[in-house]
Structure formats: C-alpha cells, structure tokens
Structure 1
C-alpha cells in the first residue's frame, strides 16, 4: 500500500502544504540552461519537510494562521495557490535558514516592466542572495515520451517542452534586483506526469524511455481512454471518484468522505476534456491517479 507523507494530515490546506514540502521534485536538471543552477532536489525537500513536521501537526489542530494567510492571498489558479503555500513556509523563519527579501520582485527598465522574480531570498547559512523560480505542472505524455513537446497539459494548451524552454531562456536572465546581486539561482518544479498505458501500468511505476531531465522519484499517474479505463482489470481493483482541481495536489477524501464506486459504476464523461480520477483502496487511501479522455 502506498502511503504519502501528506496523508498524515487532515485539514485540506495543511495536507496541501505538506504536499508542497514533501512531494518529490519533477526535474533533476534544466535542459539547455548553461549557467550555474541549483534544482532543489528531494534531499532538500525531505530535510525541510522533516524540520517542519511539528508546525504542520500544530496547524492541523489549529489551521487559523494558514487559512487567514490564504484568504489574504486568494487566487483560484493552482499555480498561485502552490506559490502562496510555499510563501507561507518561507515566512516561517524559525524552521529554515531562508530570509525572504521579496516575493514577486518586479524588474523595470525605466518605467517599463521587463520581468519578475518569483522569490528573492537571502540564504543565512551561505550568506548568498538567491533567486528562486517555482512552478507546479501536470502533463500527459504522448509518444515519443523522450520529446518534451509531446507532454501536454490536460487541455492540450501547454506543453512541458515550452515550459522548459521558457524557464531556460526567460526566467533566469537577470543578475540583480535593485541593489541585490543574485549569487545563486534555484529552481523548484513539482507536479505529476501522467503516462499512457503503453509505458506504465496503473499500479506500478513507468518503464521505458522518457525525458532525461526528470527526477527519478517524480510523481506519476496514467492517462487512458474511457473504454480502456472502465474495462481494465487493474482499475477494477480500486474504487474511484472524479476529482476537481482542488485535489490535484493532495487528495481530500479524508475531509470530503464522498462515495467511492467501482470503475464500472462511474457515469460516462460529460466533457471532451481530460478529467482526473483517483483510485482508492479499501481503507480509502489513494493508490492511483488517472486522467481519462472520451
């Protein structure tokens, strides 16, 4: 049985904050970027997640500080929600060596905006000024999986290849912000990749060739066509429900307690878009994720 660290928490925002800190990185390096860059890896995140467990446990009992913070920074886009959860942690200075200088540091040339840094940070251990770029991404893979342009968003309006190109060519162009000289560039990319059935069975990790730049432990799911999904012996082993974007990070079954049904009992898709389903075991613990298309 798969058990994720964030499943130890109950409150929805606390579960998602635990997901932000404890989930594995998506990338091990940034392709076609030829300057020094630190991709904040799984060792980094596990160290800081472990240090933050006492605070997460306290927030789970009394989440008021977190809910108030998110109310002040309300935005319905998933990327901003991810960013605000990370910001909440960065502002909690008792648990890490990072001092936030500026969130969304806007760069100007005269009166013209030329760019923005997600986070400008002073690392109190090294004394260096760091520029962090952060992203959360979910892509469905289409052969050949070794081509980043063949990894598409759920609505087919984005690709992993374009995102990687944008990060490499645009996001780390700047050497300073006001009087601060950037001494270290850091990249945070989290999310999940959804593999076709040709390269991944539902309950096991993917096999075969994929992108070289991926972290070995990146989160995985499947994407299937509807007929394949409802007739698979694998999907028949779990109980399922359709989920909205509020569960693209951590599942919230522990809070929602919604009915789970066998795959054959699911109503047909009412849209042409890919929709996300989560499969649970008999203890209502998440075991699989699958985007499904008509």
Structure 2
C-alpha cells in the first residue's frame, strides 16, 4: 500500500448525504487541493485515526479551507466528556464549520428490520449505521453547545458555527441480492458479502485472491500487486472465521477485479 493509494482512496470515497444522515454533508471533493497528492503517513495508527490524519492534511493543504481546531478534547472537572473532530474556516466566506468525520464499512442485513437505515451493520455485527447516526445526534454534535465547550472555544462565536458531517461509507450487499436500493445508498455500494460455503462453491483455481489488512480497506484492488491462489486463501479464511473476524477479500481474474466480505455469521 502506497501513501498515494491510501490518500486517493479517501478522496474518492462516497460521503453519505443528508437524505440518509439528516446532517449537511461536507464533501472532500469540495477541497481545492493539489492534483498529485502524496505525503508521509503514520504507520502505527488504526484505520479510523489514519483517515483523520489524511483528512486533516487535505484540509490544511487546501486553498479554500483553514484548520482552526483539530481533535479538541472537551473536559469538565479534569474528565474528558467528548471530542470535537475539526473546526474549520471557509477561506472566502469566513464561515466556521464544526466537522465530524467517520470512515465506515457496512453490510446490509435485510432480516434486521423493515426500515432500511437500521439494516446496515459492521462486518462483525458489533456496530451499525443507525447507532452511529444516533451517537452523532445525541452526543457528538450537541457537544458543541455544551457550556464547557464554549469556555474551551471562547475565541469563537459558538452560535454562528455550522455543523456538517463527512460520513465516508463503503456498503456491501448480500450475494445475489436482487432488490434495488435507493440511489443515495447505491452510489456507495462497493461489492457484496457471502458466507464461507458460498465462497467455496463460487470460486475456483482460475481466480487469484488477496485478503487486505484493515488499513488497506477501501483501496482499489487494481493497485494491488500481491495475489494468492485459492488453496492458501482458504487456509487463511478458516483462521479468520474461527476467530469470528469477517475479512474483506479482493478477487482477480485477468483484468477483472471484485471485492466482497466473507462473514462468519
């Protein structure tokens, strides 16, 4: 994984819009950045924190936004009650924006609910899109208007700060799923998911595979140079699934690439 590939993957990721999130969308495509972006990235960060560092750098190097605050710890009686991701300023209008950022991978499980937004879950079923939006609504965005925050950001007029969300999402649907999704979801669909048995039945020696590390999730499989055969991939998959870890799999056949999760549930 090169820094350039990782940076490009963030810039090209789909932001879920306000029809889903109910919050104004901050689109990274609106940043006026240099054409060929390549800068050093930390190697010791988890994916979510790595994405924060990339977006911070993109904002700082853009010509139309300035970083005012980043990762602001809000404390009361020496206890942290929350964190604000970014306060940025639009250069032309001088508007201040409280920006919350998230980088998520969700799988559609239609059996959960009749309500579509409640059916998007993490690959290991330990988080969901609905829960994330509820946390933003009840905790992360209201934090700006906490009295302690006003004291921390006393050089700013809190009441004039806008709030926007950059929720970068990669969505995956069940294998052979036939129902048409609304366009606001469909544009974020990157692939599908299946269980181990389906994977074995649908794949053969003519394909090549790679199970990316989590830090590589979201990168275009076309850029990958290392591929494995089916037999060695099956062995690695068995280990992942026994540990109740649903891996992402990249598949290659000639010049055709697909990606999918293989779930243990």
Give the TM-score of the pair, scaled to structure 2. 0.80
Distance 1:186 1:215, change over 3 A: farther
Show the counterpart of 2:25. Answer: 39
Equivalent position to 1:242, from 191, 211, 214: 211
Q: Could you tell me which residue of structure 2 aligns to residue 160 of structure 1?
A: 129
Equivalent runs, 1:47-126 vs 2, <5 Å: 47-48=30-31, 51-56=32-37, 59=38, 66-67=39-40, 70-71=41-42, 75-92=44-61, 95-126=62-93
Cα distance per residue 1:263-291 (max 9 Å; x no partner): 577424223221110122414x6x32111
Residues 80-100 of structure 1 deviation map (CA, whole Å, 9 limit, x = unaligned): 0010011111121xx331110
**TM-aligned CA distance change 1:198 to 1:87, over 3 Å:** same
SS at match of 2:45: coil
2:173 to 195, 213, 223: 195
TM normalised by structure 1 equals 0.73
Match of 1:232 in 2: 202
CA contact (8 A) 1:103 1:120 kept: yes
Kept in 2: contact 1:230–1:264 (CA 8 A): no
- Residue 19 of structure 1 aligns with which residue? 9
Segment drifting more, 83-92 vs 171-180: 171-180
1:237 to partner: Cα distance: 7.6
Whether the 8 Å contact between 2:46 and 2:215 is mirrored in structure 1 is no
Equivalent residues in 2 for 1:169-188, closer than 5 Å:
169-173=138-142, 174-175=144-145, 176=150, 177-182=153-158, 183-188=161-166
- Report the Cα distance in structure 1 between the residues aligned to 2:221 and 2:258, rounded to whole angstroms: 14
Distance 1:225 1:252, change over 3 A: closer
Distance 1:47 1:90, change over 3 A: closer
d(CA) in 2 for partners of 1:90, 1:231 = 46
Distance in 1 (CA, whole Å) between partners of 2:74 and 2:221 is: 38
Q: 1:24·1:219 contact (CA, 8 Å) conserved in 2?
A: no
Secondary structure of the residue aligned to 1:136 is strand
Counterparts in 2 of 1:184 and 1:236: CA distance versus 1, 3 Å: farther
Question: How far apart, CA to CA, are the structure 1 residues paired with 2:63 and 2:186?
Answer: 26
Deviation of 1:163 after TM superposition, in Å, equals 0.8
Where do 5+ consecutive residues of structure 2 fail to align? none
Q: What is the CA–CA distance in structure 1 between the aligned matches of 2:140 and 2:206, rounded to whole Å?
A: 44
What displacement does 1:108 show?
3.3
Aligned counterparts of 1:110 and 1:77: Cα–Cα separation in 2: 29
Q: What is the RMSD of the two structures over their aligned residues, measured on CA atoms?
A: 2.8
Please state whether the residue corresponding to 1:231 is helix, strand or coil: helix
